[in-house]
Structure 1
Amino acid sequence: MQLIIVVISIILTGCSMVNYEVDNVTYTAKGKNQRVKFIILHYTACDDKISIDTLTKGNVSSHYLITTHKWDPIFQLVPENERAWHAGISSFQGRSNLNDTSIGIEIVNLGVSETEGGLKLHPFHESQIRKTAYLIKKLSKKYKIEPKNILGHSDISPGRKIDPGPLFPWERLHREFGIGAWYDSIDFNFYYDSAIFGIYSTENIQSEFKRYGYDMEVSGEWSEKDKKILKAFQLHFRPKNISGEIDLETFAMIKALNHKYR
């Protein structure tokens, strides 16, 4: 009799058992994508020591830090699966608050400083350029980052930020290391035509910048916000002439970029 009671108890217990195992193999959803869609480059605007202190003890952070010392490693300050506080108020490709969808890389550089002779721009060290290229290549492959989603802080926060600044070698990174977006000369030369430029309305040109990813209103008027976007674009693709005005060369660049990447 006791044996029968035990058997019945086992059967009833088995019926009420719950499987708490997590199975991540049997079924896989198609409706998903990578969290990381952008790589954002910054300069710290201060020296190595202050940069490290600020990014590890303050209310700002980045996933990676590249110092001025070539024998230093690339320092990872925040795990890639966590949000770093580097982008702030930002937007690109219809997305805002890019801390949610980006990896931030800070490069130690003084940026722009005032001297008796005026403003001084500080170049990046060769080791920093090579480390940056190495890191971006690695991250781009891992997360399948599109070339035009490798951006500067100035691209995602026009007017509010100018880093990594006019001396950052965007064109060199593209041509030498195959990193980031750059226009093809054949496309640029085709669109560098006053006749083509002349048939484009202000709305048409604004649409080109919006199409590429910049948060530009298609209004038919060049607002102060639009001019800040033009400056950010020129800072990235034409740093020797940052006018904030639309001209034939700027027009040819944005058209060539959209032709290549869209």
Structure 2
Amino acid sequence: MKFRPYLYILIILTTFTACKTRKPVVANVPDVKKVYQSQLDSFLDVAKQMQPVVLNDSTGAAIPSSFMSTVNFNLRKPNYVIIHHTAQDSIQQTIKTFTMVSTQVSAHYVIGRNGTVVHMLNDYLRSWHAGVSKWGNVTDMNSCSIGIELDNNGLEPFSDAQIKSLMLLLARLKKTYNIPTANFIGHADIAPGRKTDPSAFFPWKTLAEHGFGYWSDEVLEPAPADFDPAIALRLMGYDTSNLTNAIRAFKLHFIQTDTSPQLTQLDLNVLYNVYRKY
């Protein structure tokens, strides 16, 4: 009987430990992998089809056609990197969001506050991260880009560990896919007025110093009197159909301390300096 208190303590500790470790980091991982593999198999089946195109002339008569396979082809590769912040509370919440069919949103990579990198989709596959967006003449950014989500609610600075991992990842992507320096941009750049990520806290200057995107020089040449900011923004890639939104997106990226829709002389000088790099 004298050992009973110790037995009770052991039972309590065992129960507490079990409850503490019971919660998984990612829910339904086996199901997620099963769905991923099933969709991948479906894409492979489509890619393996070798049926000729069926065409008919104006009278309805079939035009002779056949499938003669070429030997010169490969996978399409990404040409842009789009950076986001998750606007969620944790990396676990984001991973759960990206593994639910109902959300219809995803990314290739998610980087946690502690620098942990979660690779969620093969780089050659099309992620659903950009949504309705436009950059230059490209109106389907999902088809030509890699989406990287940073675990951040948009109201706080990004951690050093997170940015360090991001820089290493960007260096790998740039080298692997030969991505141009100008093509490292943010979600707000391609969706002005609709998105604001990766927020004014994001260190675009640091990225530019390492070859991922551009930044203005320390010494700025004054913009000429006939300088047209709308044309400059459009040539950089911004959608200027709503000029106010385009200006805000530009300032969120390149000014950061002020995101108002008005362009000061300093803003014009920065815009003139940056646009000449593109």
TM-score relative to the length of structure 2: 0.70
The correspondence of residues 63-102 of structure 1 with structure 2, limited to 5 A, is: 63-70=108-115, 72=116, 74-102=117-145
Identify the match of residue 79 of structure 2 among 9, 28, 37: 37
Pair 210,103 (structure 1): closer, same or farther in 2 beyond 3 Å? same
Q: Secondary structure at the match of 1:190?
A: coil
Is the CA contact 2:192–2:239 (under 8 Å) kept in the aligned structure 1?
no
Q: How far off its partner does 1:86 sit?
A: 0.3
Cα distance in 2 between the residues matched to 1:150 and 1:67: 20
Partner of 1:199: 226
Q: How far off its partner does 1:246 sit?
A: 2.1
Identify the match of residue 182 of structure 1 among 215, 229, 247: 215
Tell me, yes or no, if structure 1 residue 156 matches structure 2 residue 173. Answer: no
| Identical columns (%) | 32
The correspondence of residues 119-130 of structure 1 with structure 2, limited to 5 A, is: 121-130=155-164
Q: How far off its partner does 1:256 sit?
A: 1.0
Cα distance in 2 between the residues matched to 1:206 and 1:140: 29
CA RMSD of aligned residues (A): 2.3
Q: How far off its partner does 1:34 sit?
A: 5.6
Cα distance in 2 between the residues matched to 1:48 and 1:259: 38
Q: Aligned pair count?
A: 209
Q: How far off its partner does 1:22 sit?
A: 7.0
Q: Secondary structure at the match of 2:263?
A: coil
Question: Structure 1 stretches (4+) deviating beyond 3 angstroms?
Answer: 21-24, 32-35
Q: How far off its partner does 1:102 sit?
A: 0.5
When you count strand as a share of all residues, which structure comes out higher? 1
Gaps of 5+ in 1: 1-20, 112-120, 218-224
Q: Secondary structure at the match of 2:277?
A: helix
Partner of 2:171: 137
Q: How far off its partner does 1:93 sit?
A: 1.5
1:59-97 CA distances to partner (integer Å, 9 max, x unpaired)?
Answer: 210000101234x3x111011111100000000011112
Identify the match of residue 210 of structure 1 among 234, 240, 244: 234
Cα distance in 1 between the residues matched to 2:248 and 2:129: 21
Cα distance in 2 between the residues matched to 1:96 and 1:166: 25
Higher RCO structure (Cα 8 Å, ≥6 apart): 1
